[in-house]
Amino acid sequence: MPELPDLEVVREFLGRVLPGEVVAGARVARPIVVRDLVSEGASALVGRSVSGVGRWGKYLWIDLGPGMCLTVNPKLAGRLAWYRAGERTRGRPALVIELRSGRELHYLDAKDMGQVYITHRLDEVPGFAEQGPDALDPSLTVETFAARLARFRGEIKGVLTRQEFVAGIGNAYADEILYEARISPFRRRTQLTAAEVERLYEAMRTILSEAVAVLRERVGERIDLEVRDHLRVHGRGGARCSRCGRTISELRARQRITSFCRGCQPGTLVRG
């Protein structure tokens, strides 16, 4: 699942290569994925020039001049792929954007669970306006973070992945943030001390910023790649914790993996 670091690196790359490009053609291969909110279909994109690329949380959008944008919510398996003229394509595209330069931008989705919206305005995209502040927004202070956190109840991992709390954190990076903060994913939000909340905030900033730096160096033009081998705990069940040497635990529930170290993140699994 693409999360904030993945999409931020995609935004940076597309923000360098797309502005000034003109859409020469747009082809929808799987209509179930592409949502037309302008009643003109993909043909509405043709002839428009890219003016910028943006991201908030797990949404990424391409500005196509006044009154038109293409917004991607990749969900579980959505990816964008960038091709040079004549390059062999990968995967099964749901949407192909052809540019006058001869290059192409594809949206791929093996699960057909993500959505691409053709809209006049970002606030027309379902779920976009309900997001909390972006997890790396410079204006998100520790005080604001704590105040927002106090509105939620339940296990802290579940709260971290709620996009209306802060936007951009998914399953994998929630595990990494909690590991960095030495907080059990099963701790109740109401049980956290002020010091732990501050530690959680700092861990969020550190983990996400460091991941962006790693992916920026590793991904390059292959923006469709998912790089996860730099993660210290998520998906590493059965391996040794690099901090304390204990075996990393891994639980699966509701099609979600939770990875944590019982030594570094003490707590109980009893819920109630």
Smallest CA-to-CA distance from 203 within 153, 247, 265, 248 is with: 265
d(CA 136, CA 154): 23
Whether 103 is a known active-site residue: answer no
Smallest CA-to-CA distance from 151 within 166, 173, 170 is with: 166
Whether 182 is a known active-site residue: answer no
- Find the catalytic residue in 27, 30, 148, 256: 256
Whether 151 is a known active-site residue: answer no
Beta strand 34-36 with 115-119 is parallel
Dump the DSSP string for 226-239: ---TT-SSTT-TTS
H or E stretch at 38: none
DSSP-derived secondary structure letter, 161: T
- Find the catalytic residue in 3, 8, 21, 176: 3
d(CA 121, CA 218): 33
- Find the catalytic residue in 58, 79, 187, 236: 58
Whether 126 is a known active-site residue: answer no
Q: Which residues are annotated as catalytic?
A: 2-3, 58, 256
